[in-house]
Amino acid sequence: METKDWLIKDLKDNWLEDRAAKVERVNKIDKEYYRQYDIKQGLRNSDGTGVVVGFTKIGSVHGYTYCDGVKTPIEGKLFYRDIEIDELVKNTGEFGFESIVYLLLFGELPGEEELRKFNAILDGFRKLPTHFTENTILKSPSRDVMNKLQRAILVLYSYDEKPDSLAIDRILVQSLKLIARFPTIISYGFQAKAHYFDDQSLYLHNPKEGLGTAANILHMIRANNDYTQLEKDTLDLLLILHAEHGGGNNSAFTTHVVSSSGTDTYSAVGAAVGSLKGPKHGGANLRVKAMVDDIKENLADYSDRAELKKYLKQILKGEVFDQKGLIYGMGHAVYTKSDPRAVILKKKSKELAAAKDRLKEFELYDNIESLTKEIFKEERGEDVEICANVDLYSGFVYQLLNIPEELFTPLFATARVASWCAHRIEQLVSDHKIIRPAYKSLKNEEKCTIR
């Protein structure tokens, strides 16, 4: 019998299912061990606070105070280089996202002339290398744009004369090229996916100088290149709000870990993209959209607050939707009373919804937020604080902008890449030790060896 026939027969005889069950069984670790030896699962303390593993000057997230062992909820605050996000949103101007990129990399906001020069540098890097689009994107399209983005980043290593250099000036050039090219890569990656897998027409628009990141994205993903000022401003705001979130978020920490080994910029940023791709991180707004679609499908009148509250309780009990017992878009690892990004984005989403005649949908998201807070206080106590996170409104805003859901997470990556590059530089400049935490070894199910 040929190997192929043997393999097909074994697969039909449940060989793979049996082995998968065995693999799951032999790798399962009893949760009691984590409690017994005070292992910090997810690098979280027992009260949910994060384990402190380093310092950062790039960004900080404040959601509670912690004094004398007591955790007290506060209104959320987010700082980029010690400047509060509310202030940045109000004062960054026409090229808001580009100003934020400059701030994250260089530690200060640019002046008018410096911003003009910086935009010109980014414009000079936006186009992809010769034949890169054909050979890397079109000849090997992917159903997932994040997968295509990650592969494209790694291929760009081959176009760099000194890709492994750890000189800061070289890393800055690599960083600026990646920041400038992310919008082009995700736009072309989406167009290739739509053409080869969804049987749609293929549109490849060159990025244009002088538009900035947000406008170029709308220009490249739309067949007619058309967009309104409100749409451009809204996407620019989204990019700003997603640009940085401290060193402890999963993808930023991934950047620190991988960079600490001394590897190249492309490997470090590629790893961060892989982290962000996960539904527990950058893909969370897709789960919000799926949940809202389910609500619309199952409620005759989703504006009826009593019916919506009843259904949200069923979602929380794991009885409906994906049966995970989660109301997506609600709750955060750090923020307690409020997520400042969600507060800002909620106001903008209402403005855009009004312009698009979709205020009824906005009210659905608003009701999900307020009713979930009610449910948690009723069922888990008046002292329980839960807030809407940025994902509750970001997916809705993307829909209002007519952005395909395949681009939700890639746009998050486009916003966050400047932060990853800043965290990489911070790691290389400030901490020369390779990050290497310890794991306890379990000899068997009953005994634990401590090392």
pLDDT tens, residue by residue, 179-194: 999 999 999 999 999 9
- Calpha distance 284→273 (Å, rounded): 14
Average pLDDT over residues 122-137: 98
Residue 395's nearest CA partner among 356, 365, 359, 419 is: 365
Residue 448 has a pLDDT of 47
Query: What confidence tens digit (pLDDT) does each residue in 47-99 have?
Result: 778 899 999 999 999 999 888 878 899 999 999 999 999 999 998 888 999 99
Tell me the percentage of the chain whose pLDDT exceeds 90: 84
Residue 451 has a pLDDT of 46
Residue 95's nearest CA partner among 243, 240, 226, 225 is: 240
pLDDT at 263 over 80: yes
Q: Is 61 helix (H, G, I), strand (E, B) or coil?
A: strand
Write out the DSSP string of 277-341.
TSTTTTTHHHHHHHHHHHHHHH-S-TT-HHHHHHHHHHHHTTSSTTSS---TTB--SS-SS--HH
pLDDT at 329 over 70: yes
Amino acid at 276: L
Q: How many residues does the chain have?
A: 451
Query: What confidence tens digit (pLDDT) does each residue in 202-236 have?
Result: 999 999 999 999 999 999 999 999 999 999 999 99
pLDDT at 14 over 50: yes
- Calpha distance 361→363 (Å, rounded): 5
Residue 11 has a pLDDT of 63
Average pLDDT over residues 162-172: 98
Per-residue confidence at 16, pLDDT binned at 50, 70, 90?
A: confident
Residue 17 has a pLDDT of 82
pLDDT at 446 over 70: no
Per-residue confidence at 442, pLDDT binned at 50, 70, 90?
A: confident
Distance separating the N- and C-terminal Cα atoms of the chain = 49
Residue 84's nearest CA partner among 241, 277, 231 is: 241
Average pLDDT over residues 257-283: 96
Q: Virtual CA dihedral for 249, 253, 254, 256, nearest 10 degrees?
A: 150
Residue 69 has a pLDDT of 76
Residue 420 has a pLDDT of 98
Question: What value does the mean pLDDT of the chain take?
Answer: 93
Residue 450 has a pLDDT of 46
- Calpha distance 189→144 (Å, rounded): 9
pLDDT at 8 over 70: no
Instruction: Give the CA distances from residue 240 to residues 96, 180, 316, in Å, rounded to whole numbers and listed in that order.
Output: 7, 15, 31
- Calpha distance 340→329 (Å, rounded): 14
Residue 313's nearest CA partner among 396, 374, 242 is: 374
Tokens of 198: 């969804």
